[in-house]
Structure 1
Amino acid sequence: MKNIHRFLLIFFFIASVSPAFASDDEHDGNAHQTTHEQEKFEPGNFILGHIADAYEWHVFSTGDFHFTAPLPVIVYSKYSGLHVFMSSKFHHGHESYQRFEIAKTGDYKGKIVETVAGKQIRPLDVSMTKNVVAMLTSMFILLWVFISVAKSYKQRKGQAPKGMQSLVEPIILFVRDEIAKPAIGEKKFEKFMPYLLTIFFFIWLNNLMGIVPLLPGGANVTGNITITLVLALFTFIITSINGNKAYWVHMVNTPGVPWWLKFPIPLMPIVEIMGLFTKPFVLMVRLFANIAAGHMIIMAFVSLIFIFGQVNLSLGLGASVISVLFMIFMTLLELLVALIQAYVFTLLSALYFGMATEEHH
């Protein structure tokens, strides 16, 4: 356990104090600087750039100077094999390395592509992006917390909770007594508790880390639709595997529904089967949309400062006061939303499990 503590401390220290300080090469410095001076602020690119996944952990930029932490790039090309290098080789997307570069336009915009015979081809990409590193960090934190709590329970069996126990135990009991038991039932809830606790704490922790602007926070993990898709698929698979006979029969022959809705056109079975897939779809979109929207609103208030600042410096300073106040309000609101979205996702998953395992009479 001491080794895990030390590993986390070392990881956070390295991530915080060893960013890659870099600027564009001198051969295009003057031209690039002129482009920056003429370039107007585009709020759309600014907002999407901050909530999207990236191959480096960007903190801030000023002119041609970028304060970033490079991340490992791992790609496999069917033409040149496996390549492993740091994202700093791309010089913030301005250069290519070993025929690989970050696409600036097209279908693969923002992704690593390989240029072969003048064409851009997408290699197998398993790079450690910002969202991946943020997820691994949250996983290490959760493992550290729950292994510590489990160890404390073994050492202090029968005693009152203390330290981390007293913080985690009420939340675990809340998930058990207010979510799992009412939704699934007294007899069957224990089977699903490990999964429900995992998604609750995973979503909540990543939501909170996404609000913190410092490394290793600031990543938009639960605001990434691919991640919410995987979480929804887990719920869908567990629901389908544990569905009893009555659950599947209900799909084909819904009791209490008039026969003319089942024959000759099976309207109700079609609706029920569609509902089988719309449930995880709702889980995916709800979490993604709420978290992504919160980040976008905060970044929109930041954009207002630069938009008014381009018109007039004094106007930009005046707008900054209002924008900062709204940003503080939205950040406090995001703290509440982070918990609510973890609760809603866990509750809906528990309800789906309860419907799949309910005994119909």
Structure 2
Amino acid sequence: MIALALPAAANEGGFVPPTLEDMHLPEILPWMAPYGEGFGKQMLLVLLSVVLISWFFIAAARRRQLVPGKLQYLGEMSYNFVRNSVGKDIIGERDFKPFVPLLFSLFFFILVNNLFGSIPLIQMPTTSHVGTAYALAGIVYFTWIVLGIKKHGIGYFKLAVVPSGVPKAILPLVVLIEIISTFLVRPVTHSLRLFATMLAGHLIIMLAAAGTQFLLVDADFWLKPLGILTLAGGVGMYFFEILIQVLQAYVFVLLTAIYIQGSLAEEH
């Protein structure tokens, strides 16, 4: 009923809700894409995130001191968080060190690209584009599969899908479920969890902003007080979205560490 009312309101000059197309700005260099995807704002922000992350940690490590300054302390604290709280605690003290660079890079890349959605004038989390989420999850997917084969040989696939202690009568059904959940569902949910959360959160902020503007500027006088409520709700959602952006970066990397640990484990 609401979906039918919105187009009618738009045709009558009323409230026009934001759409997914509003998140995809015109391409900056369309000639770079012979197959339809040019160089746009999303790609520019991805490159900017790499520059910003590289600059920050190079600057933090440039003048290392026994008593660290603020920048060095922040850089060391950030690195130690990923190293110890994710890598060491999840993968294990014996095996975690080779994977710290991957976990570290994923966490800060996702974090910065998520936070772009809350920065004025930028206001677009690049991870709300499904291609970014698919690419990141794809890297993780092939990483833990290759690690499992390297550790256990071709027998890794048996370890991954044949749980120990399962009665033979239901073993075929359990193996089928494990194959689907491990090799098909896992990479999809790993990517879509990040993409869908960032997309939904950004759309809510856009909707709150558009609703506030309409109620305060264009709506009838008796509706204008509702604009104050919409504005307050939008501000609350803005700060809640920042929290979600940080948590989603952590959850993505945490799951990556869990998948790597599972590939290295002797039993499942």
CA contact (8 A) 2:130 2:192 kept: yes
User: 1:252 & 1:344 partners in 2: Cα distance?
Assistant: 24
Distance 1:220 1:209 in 2: 5
Quick one: distance in 2 between partners of 1:174 and 1:302? 35
What is the CA–CA distance in structure 2 between the aligned matches of 1:252 and 1:293, rounded to whole Å? 33
Partner of 2:6: none
Secondary structure of the structure 1 residue equivalent to 2:30: strand
1:50 aligned partner: 22
Question: Residue in 1 aligned with 2:35?
Answer: 124
Structure (1/2) with the larger strand percentage: 1
Select 1:221's aligned residue among 123, 126, 131.
126
1:135 maps to 46
Given that 1:253 and 1:269 are in contact with CA atoms closer than 8 Å, whether structure 2 keeps it comes out as yes
Q: TM-score scaled to structure 1, two decimals? A: 0.65
Given the alignment of the two structures, is residue 305 of structure 1 paired with residue 216 of structure 2, yes or no?
Answer: no
Aligned-residue offset at 1:42: 2.4
* Distance (whole Å) between structure 2 residues aligned to residue 220 and residue 343 of structure 1: 16
What does 1:8-157 align with in structure 2 at a 5 Å threshold? Answer: 39-43=13-17, 46-51=18-23, 53-56=24-27, 71-75=28-32, 123-153=34-64, 156=65
Structure 1 vs Structure 2: percent identity of aligned residues? Answer: 30
Whether the aligned pair in 2 keeps the contact of 1:55 and 1:127 (CA below 8 Å) is: no
In 1, Cα distance between equivalents of 2:236 and 2:213: 20
The gaps in structure 2 that reach 5 residues or longer are: 1-9
- What is the distance in 2 between the residues matched to 1:175 and 1:315? 52
Asked whether the 8 Å contact 2:114–2:127 carries over to 1, the reply is yes
After superposition, the CA RMSD in angstroms is 2.4
Q: CA shift at 1:50, angstroms?
A: 3.1
Matched letter for residue 29 of structure 2: P
Whether 2:249 is the aligned partner of 1:356: answer: no
Contact 2:83 2:100 in 1 (8 A): yes
- Cα deviation per residue 1:244-263 (whole Å; 9 max; x = unaligned)? 3264222353311111123x
CA drift of 1:141 comes to 0.2
Q: Is the partner of 2:67 in helix, strand or coil?
A: coil
Report the CA distance shift for 1:261/1:347 in structure 2 as closer, same or farther (over 3 A). Answer: same
Structure holding more helix per residue: 2
Superposed displacement of residue 286, structure 1: 1.0
Matched, 1:183 2:90: yes
Deviations 1:335-359 (A, max 9, x none): 2111111111110110000000112
Secondary structure of residue in 1 paired with 2:157: helix
| 3-state DSSP of counterpart to 2:126 | coil
Q: Which residue of 1 aligns with 2:75?
A: 168
Which runs of 5 or more structure 1 residues have no equivalent in the other structure? 1-35, 57-70, 77-122
* Local SS of the residue matching 1:124: coil
**Distance across 1 between alignment mates of 2:79 and 2:231:** 36
2:146 counterpart (237, 241, 260): 241
Q: Contact conserved, 2:137 with 2:190, CA < 8 A, in 1? A: yes
- Residues 209 and 310 of structure 1: CA distance in aligned 2, closer, same or farther (over 3 Å): closer
**CA apart distance, 1:309:** 6.3
CA deviation digits over 1:155-182, x for unaligned, max 9? x4xx122232111211211111111112
Show the counterpart of 1:9: none
Q: Which residue does the alignment assign to 1:104?
A: none
TM (norm. structure 2) is 0.86
Q: Quote the residue 1:273 is aligned against.
A: 179
CA–CA distance in 1 between the matches of 2:161 and 2:251?
Answer: 29
Take 1:316 and 1:136, find their aligned partners in 2: how far apart are those partners?
A: 43
The one-letter code of the counterpart of 1:273 is: I
